[in-house]
Structure formats: structure tokens, C-alpha cells
Structure 1
């Protein structure tokens, strides 16, 4: 018997209290936010037998839901829309990824003001899109010219935004120098020893790159603790303002985040490859699954622990799912795109360290016997998430998680 409250408390033990309290408070607001914050619990609940056992073994991001897609600037300096969170990445049966996406649609229906019939319709459409993309057997990608609907609107908005605009959202300009805006919403202050440690690390990292401009580019101007996401709140994480191409408007923002073990892998029977560090796992799978890797992506070691370093991805770079004037087709386009991106990522990373080859995925995509059982399983998962959320709310309102966040 799984005790949801204990599972959540155990999973989040030893996280930073200030940001952990933010996570617990956010999870109280809706079942959808709760789902985002409890990936470990979701996969502890999902039955390994049945429909999930039918699919080929593939690489998964491990935490696929409606909010884990977004635009980003890649290392080729072009902008793409793709899966953007790989903290839980591992080898798993293919449908482990899809059932979580479908469950997020069902659980998020209330937040998106969808009827039950509309949410179910989106699930059926997404399964069809995923199956077709697998059966086609060729990995594609989404860029401005190939995007439609709300994703296209996202790209159009990005095209109008300058680097200065991006910096203005996160920093304050003092004369000709920028400093991070420590507002308690996106950033928190760091103490002097931490600032010095991050600054020294970035200087060492730049030197190891062995490129002439790296030391100047990565010269640290300011450091803060970053507030972002839901599931990872409380994990050691920083936003670093670096010199980049020159102050004030050529500065860059870097995300430095501790990499923890995947919470999905221990729930599986699938044998996992050996990784030198958890950061190596995250970065390697991200490089395999994304069409083009995110800019500045590196697996690093800071303070003797594994971290992922990458360009900061603003929350503004996600699709505004609620901005559809109550119309269903724009949302259907986005969810279908997400399902296709899932299939394309699996195809793109096929044949690597135990993952199935494209022929196996194509054959699976051509079958139809798994589609209805998968939707039925997502409905069961939705009910379980709702039940767990209610148990969490009772415990939270009773002060259990307030005490946990304080350590």
C-alpha cells in the first residue's frame, strides 16, 4: 500500500526549505500542479503490466506533461519548440511517456476550462498523432516555419523580442551594468560564500573549454538562487548573469542546476546504462532526444556534485494554453504537436544503448490494439492523481508539509 503523503515527504527530504515551501504551496493549488510536482509518485502508481508492457523500449524524458514543452535557442543559434525537461530521463517502455502526457490533459482539464468530453477528445487525437508519427518512422522537428496555431504565435512573439527585452525581465540596469532582480518570484539571494564558489566554478569551467573568448564570455557579473518549475523546486539551482558579448545588453543568463537520480528508473525492470554522473545522463539523453541541443548545454561538477549547465530558458517561452478564446482546435493542434514530438524524440534516439530501432517503433505505431487500453489507463491514473491530491491537501492543511519544509 503506497502512502502518498509519506512518498512526497520522503522524496523531498533534504531539499532547501525556502524553495521547498514554495513547491508545497504551489502543489496545493490544483491537481495539475500537484501532478507536475509528483512525478515520482505517478510512476510508483502506474502498473508495469498490461498495456505499458507492450511498447518497445525507448529513451523517455521521464516527466512528459503539458508544461514540459517550450521554445529554446539551440546551439546552432536557431529557435525550436521541443521537449525541454530531461531530469527524469531513462530507458523505459514507450507508452510510459504517453500515458503521463494523456493524464496531464485529463488532470489539467479544469485549469484549461475543458469539458470531460473535450479532454477525452484531446486524448484520442493525441494517441492518433503519436501512432501516426511513429508509423511514419522519420523524426521531424518544430521551428517557426513549420509551426501552426498557438505554437506559431509563440514563435511570432519571440521574433519581436530582443536580447535586451529578455534581460530586462530578469535584471535591473544600474548605469551601464546589470544586476539580477532578486524578487522572491524568480530569484532569491545567495550568500557571499556561495557567490564566490559559483564565480570560481564558472571561471574554471570557461578555462576548461579552451576557447579564446570563453573566459571573457563566462565572466560572472551576478548570481542568485533560481526559482523555476514545480517538481525541482528545492533542488540546488542558480541563475548566473555573465558578461557574454558585452554589458549591458550583450549579457547572457545561465542556468546551473544540480542533477539528481531519475525517480522513474527505480520503478522499472528495464536495465539502465551506467552513467559517470547523473548530469551526464540528463545531458546525453537530451542531446539524443532533442532535434538540436539547447545552447550552452554541459554536464559539469560543482562542489563535488553533478550539475547541468545551460542557457536559461524563460517561462515566457511556453505556449499560452489558456489563450484560445474557449476554442478547442488551437489546443488540439498543440497537444497533437506534443504527441508527435514525443514520437520523433523516441525515433531520433532509437538504437542507442538498449533502445529499440526504428523498425520496431514503426511496427508498434501501426498497431491499434494498445490505443484504447492506454486511454483507459490514463483515466485510471487521473483518478489516482485526484485521490492523492485530496490526501495531500488534507495533510498540507493540517500542517504536515509546513513542518517538512522547515526541516
Structure 2
């Protein structure tokens, strides 16, 4: 997270909700309670392949998802885009345009109007990359070439005996076949077996949280053998504030899966809640087509277009959960709160500016501690 202010914003969800709790929330409107991402930064959106093989850009990480205020997702995404502008040393005027575009794209989702234009070329290029990716590319990124084996090293660590026993019990021969069929990985007449497993060290999400990669071998009825990979990820309690008027699953893994089905059905259909070592965890297939949007995917000249596009993606995810009356009312609030001087709602702009200042202070303190630790 010390690499850049944007990396700090992306990897520090708790800081965002600490800021939200400490700040005055009177100006932030309360939208209809729906499932929200809870950690809606740029890197948590990207192309995902659905069970039908169609690839689309969706919210792709739901660890922090709760039934809450949709305005919180809008602020968090705006903060992410604004911090990306700052990290790229872009003028402040660009951030103003990005927030304006973000709001416009988000608000359009609640009118059920079509996108005003196609996806930005940058997003199209990412979709083309996702469509063209194959299992061989996933193997080159994560595995060895010559045998079904997960190479241990910096990214993959050996399992403890307790972890290996627990994963073997979860993915027993009797359970693995139906599980693979249910996730769309295998057909009913395929033979599925676990080839290898390892502890997976993967970015900020791995800090203090267990995560495992499991390699499967699938013998198809025609005699061909292929590989598949599972991601088993800890489901922590959500830091995002939730509404008290709607019930959510008490089990955190079931909460994540329920949120995925509401916000990103193409992803939710490929996930299942499990318990491993008495912890709630989410199991899903790691598909080669699943990618995330990185800061280098956002050229400065197109960042406002990308902001509008991502706003529409998040808006669609929220809008599909609302009634027609709720969509109309929320759209009215979004439009009525626009500033007469800046083409963005004053509450959204003020919230993003305040959050950006808070995160900038936190980032510099984080860098200071990081330098002190490494000498």
C-alpha cells in the first residue's frame, strides 16, 4: 500500500469507514436499502465470465457487501477515481470532470435509459483481452507447465497438516463431483479429483486471512484430461455499515454469496459458501477470463469516460434491486442535489474531497511507518 496513494485507498477499506463514521453524514442522502459492494473501488470491478460463457464488466469482489446505503458505493468509487487522478499527477480539474461523469453514468441507470455511448475503448480492449484468454495463460501465470502442480514460493505456501486434511475433507471424492457440476466446471459424467492445493498469498486481501488455491484434474468422458482451479477465500465480517431494516445472512460466507447473486449474478452463480477449519469461506472457480481494472488501464484522456461507464455498472447493480418507485425517487434525489456551480451534487463532491484529504494523511503516516519498519 506504500506504492502509491491510490494503492493505499484501494487496500484500506477500514480507513474509508473510519472516515465515514467520524465525518458528518447529514449531507449524505439515504438511498433505498439494497445490497452494496461495500468496497467499491476501481480494482473491484472488471470482466467476469458467466455460466453462459458471456463476459461482462461487473462488481467482482463482494467481501464487504452489506444491505446498506447505495450512496456509500458512489462515494467510495469516486474516491478511488479521484485518488487515481492524484497518483497520475493529473490537474484537479480532471477530478472534477471525473466526479461529474461518474454521477451522470450512475444516475442514468435509474431511468432505465440505455448507455449514451458504447464502452470506452480502454474497457473494450480489456474485454477483448478477457475473451481471448485461455486456460494455458492462467497456467503460465500461476502454475507449472509440465505437470498438475502448484509451485511453492513467494505466492504459494505449503499447507499445514490441518489445512490439508480440512481441504481434503471438504473436497472429498463424493463431494467434489457434484460441487464441480454445480459450479459449471464439469459435466455429470466427468471424473474430478484434487491434484494439488496451497496457501495463496494474494495482495492486501491475504493479510491475516486464510486463502487457498486448489488445482483440479477433470477426466472428460471422451478421454481428454483438463485442469481447473478453485479459489477458497476467507469471508470476514464486513466493515461497511448496514441497514437495520433488512435481514442479512448471519454467516459471512452466505452473506457474500447472497450479495453476489444480487449485485453480480454472473459471478454469484459460480460461488458457494463453505466452512473450512470452522471458518466461513467462499469457494469459486478461478476462470482465465476474470480480470480486474488496473490504474494503468485508465489513460488520462479517457478517465472521465471510464468514470461514467463504471458509474453505470454500479448503478445497474443497485437499480435492479429497486422497485420502479424507488428508482424514480433515488434518481430525483441524485439530480436535485446538484450544485449550481459544479455539475456534480455538492454532497458527493464534498464527501470525496474530505475523504481524499483523510486518506492522504493516512497514506503519509503509513509510508512513515513503512520506512521505519524496513529501515
Where on the TM-score scale, by shorter chain, does this alignment land: which range? 0.7 to 0.9
Correspondence 1:297 to 2:271: yes
Correspondence 1:68 to 2:81: no
Contact 1:72-1:294 within 8 A present in 2 as well? no
Instruction: State the partner residue of 2:251.
Output: 277
Contact 2:130-2:289 within 8 A present in 1 as well? no
User: Residue deviations 1:137-193, cap 9 Å, x none?
Assistant: 47x89xxx964411110121223322222222211133xx321233414x2232344
Contact 1:77-1:295 within 8 A present in 2 as well? no
The partner residue of 1:178 within 148, 155, 162 is 148
User: Residue deviations 1:41-67, cap 9 Å, x none?
Assistant: 211211362232343322211000111
User: Residue deviations 1:313-344, cap 9 Å, x none?
Assistant: 569822354256x5412x22222111111110
Instruction: State the partner residue of 2:342.
Output: none
Instruction: State the partner residue of 1:335.
Output: 307
The partner residue of 2:158 within 184, 189, 205 is 189
Moved more, 311-320 or 254-263: 311-320
User: Residue deviations 1:180-239, cap 9 Å, x none?
Assistant: 233414x22323442332122112542664969569554211111122242443311011
Correspondence 1:360 to 2:336: no
Instruction: State the partner residue of 2:209.
Output: 235
- The secondary structure found in structure 2 opposite 1:53 is coil
TM-score by length of structure 1 reads: 0.78
- The secondary structure found in structure 2 opposite 1:309 is strand
* Offset, 1:111: 3.2
Contact 1:39-1:231 within 8 A present in 2 as well? no
Correspondence 1:262 to 2:231: no
Q: Which runs of 4+ in 1 moved over 6 A?
A: none
What runs of 5+ residues in structure 1 fail to find an aligned partner?
A: 1-26, 403-407
Moved more, 241-250 or 125-134: 241-250
Instruction: State the partner residue of 2:348.
Output: 374
* Offset, 1:376: 1.5
CA distance 1:218–1:78, change in 2 (3 Å)? farther
Q: How many residues align?
A: 359
* Offset, 1:367: 2.8
Distance in 1 (CA, whole Å) between partners of 2:206 and 2:307 is 24
Distance in 1 (CA, whole Å) between partners of 2:362 and 2:177 is 48
Distance in 2 (CA, whole Å) between partners of 1:272 and 1:57 is 8
TM-score by length of structure 2 reads: 0.85
Q: 1:33-72 alignment to 2 at 5 Å?
A: 33-46=7-20, 47=23, 49-72=25-48
Instruction: State the partner residue of 1:154.
Output: 126
What runs of 5+ residues in structure 2 fail to find an aligned partner?
A: 340-344
CA distance 1:319–1:49, change in 2 (3 Å)? closer
Distance in 2 (CA, whole Å) between partners of 1:288 and 1:305 is 23
